[in-house]
Structure 1
Amino acid sequence: MRTKLTILMLALSILPAACGSSASGGATTAVEGYITALATKDQAALISNSCADWEDDALIELDSFALVEVTIDGMSCAEAGTDGEVTLVNCTGMLNMSYNGEPQSLNLADRIYEVIEQDGNWLVCGVR
């Protein structure tokens, strides 16, 4: 019985860290989760990494990837500073896309992501 209780307590202590990656990993983790959600077309993950004010824009971005195959190549994100309460995040790497066999690429360095902390969660809330 004692072993089961110890295992249960350990599992419950690990669970919050495993569930909300953007909550525990900071601004860069939120952006990486956002980009990954776009590439994998995971609407729920995209919304969970977006602030309420950005959700409509995030869904429009997601719709733009609906008909293309997307892979992420070499993504790495880092905080680039702040602008008021907004943390700015730059990424490197590429989103490689294919539509009807025609390849296209999107350089992740072409955008700066605006991230806010809201109730302990880091959320993408815009791009520049």
Structure 2
Amino acid sequence: MSFRTVSLVVILSLGAAVLSACGGTSAAAGPEKAVETYLNALVSQDVNRLTTVSCKAWEEKARLEADSFQAVKARLDGVTCTKAGDEGTSAKVTCTGKIVATYGNEDQEIPLDRRPYLVSQEGGEWRMCGYTK
């Protein structure tokens, strides 16, 4: 094999590895990453991404949640999510930190540690499916 052929194989392999790392929320990424992705999409009002990382049964509620942030500018502050338990193909995820929603000059803080998230595998990926008790 020539140096040129070996170089091409190495470059293509590295490119494939980089592209696979840039994919969506995969099962390997874990349920906590699905919730973080959901929260980021929520505060950035990216409805397409929000529904993409949601279970089919949660998509309409995800749109409603996005609607509730339309009149404010929102951001995440100190958010860290961790898996709190498994239930087969579902998991419970808890988060710390908060959403800061600004309306005019007033900030409202929404703590994230008050409601655990339910995340399930659907289509081979972890997806946000609602809240648990």
Greater percentage in helix: 1
| TM-score normalized by the length of structure 2 | 0.88
| Percentage of matched positions with identical amino acids | 38
**Residue 46 of structure 1 pairs with residue 50 of structure 2:** yes
Question: 1:55 aligns to what?
Answer: 59
Q: Alpha carbon RMSD of aligned pairs, Å?
A: 1.5
Gaps of 5+ in 1: none
| 1:12 alignment partner AA | A
Over 3 Å counting, the alpha-carbon distance change for 1:70 and 1:52 in structure 2 is: same
Could you tell me whether the CA contact under 8 Å between 1:22 and 1:49 is conserved in 2? no
CA distance in 2, matches of 1:69, 1:85: 35
Question: 1:80 aligns to what?
Answer: 84
Could you tell me whether the CA contact under 8 Å between 1:77 and 1:92 is conserved in 2? yes
Larger Rg: 2
Choose from 89, 94, 102 the match for 2:106.
102
Question: 1:69 aligns to what?
Answer: 73
Question: 1:11 aligns to what?
Answer: 15
Q: CA deviation at 1:84?
A: 5.2
CA distance in 1, matches of 2:62, 2:19: 27
CA distance in 2, matches of 1:95, 1:36: 10
CA distance in 1, matches of 2:19, 2:48: 19
